[in-house]
Chain A
Amino acid sequence: METTLAIVIGGLYAISFYLMLRRSMVKLILGLMLFSQAVNLLLFTAAGLTRGQPPIIPEGADALPVPFADPLPQALILTAIVISFGMIAFTLALTRRAHSSLETDDLDQLGRSERP
């Protein structure tokens, strides 16, 4: 399964890179969203996969039953998901604002325009 996921991650990276290199602002955002998914999956996979064993100590036991899924990357990814939500919201607002102020979708134009 790791192989499958590795290919999926590589594919997501490739598509997100391609999207980020576009001149359209919205495509850039789409690329960012895919990118954060890919990074999260990369973290998740690189830490090793364990089928169906959540890192939760069962009632009565005093340690995790082996094998358990690594809780640390999960904690990292959990925060990353929420952070990327904030980031996407911010870029959306930024794009929205830039579009309404500068009336262009072309990032190349954006670089050249001074404040209106």
Chain B
Amino acid sequence: MPLQLAFSIVLLVRGHNEPGGGFIGGLVAACGIALHGIAFGIPAARRLLRVPPPMLIGTGLLIAALSGLPGLFQGQPFLTGLWGGSVPTLLAGQLKFGTPLLFDVGVYLVVAGIAVHLIFTMAEDQ
């Protein structure tokens, strides 16, 4: 289970250069939590997640929207990509930081949040 979450993050991070990205990473994370929910019950999955899913959605949307602002401040259109330095990582190769990565993180959170939220809601509905 933690492995799947970790893997989803790797997918997210390497998404800019290889298959992966926010959508896929978020879906993988959601699948992992859903699996946990089916195996141990929804309350357990909720506890595992710690934060309520709507929180994830909100945070993700906020991050994605905020990542568009730096470009705006530089006098360029909203959501223009700006890149900073980079650090080497073990699994994902050279990791570069920039607003698109931040945006991708937002997407990741939103997608994961939505999928988990939907499944929780549906599963708890009797």
Interface string of A19-39 (1 = CB under 8 A from B): 000000000000000000000
Check: A11 CB closer than 8 A to any chain B CB. no
Q: Is the CB of B122 within 8 A of A82?
A: no
Collect the chain A residues with CB atoms within 8 Å of residue B19's CB: 54, 56
In the bound complex, what is the Cα–Cα distance between A79 and B26 (angstroms)? 13
B23 touches A96 (CB 8 A): no
Number of residues on chain B facing chain A (CB within 8 A) = 12
| Pick from B17, B18, B114, B121: contact of A86, CB under 8 Å | B114
Query: Residue A89 at the B interface, CB < 8 A?
Result: yes
B122 in contact with A93 (CB, 8 Å): yes
Quote the shortest CB–CB distance from A89 to chain B (angstroms).
5
Residue of A nearest to B24 (CB): A78
Residue tally, chain A, CB below 8 Å to B: 11
Q: What residues of chain A lie closer than 8 Å to B27, measured between beta carbons?
A: 82
Q: From residue 7 to 22 of chain B, which have CB atoms closer than 8 A to chain A? A: 17-19
Interface centre among A54, A89, A93, A96 (most CB of B within 10 A): A89
Q: Do residues A82 and B23 form an inter-chain contact, with CB atoms below 8 A? A: yes
Contact B125 A78 (CB under 8 A): no
Enumerate the 4 nearest inter-chain pairs by beta-carbon distance, A residue then B residue, closest first: A89-B118, A82-B23, A78-B23, A56-B18
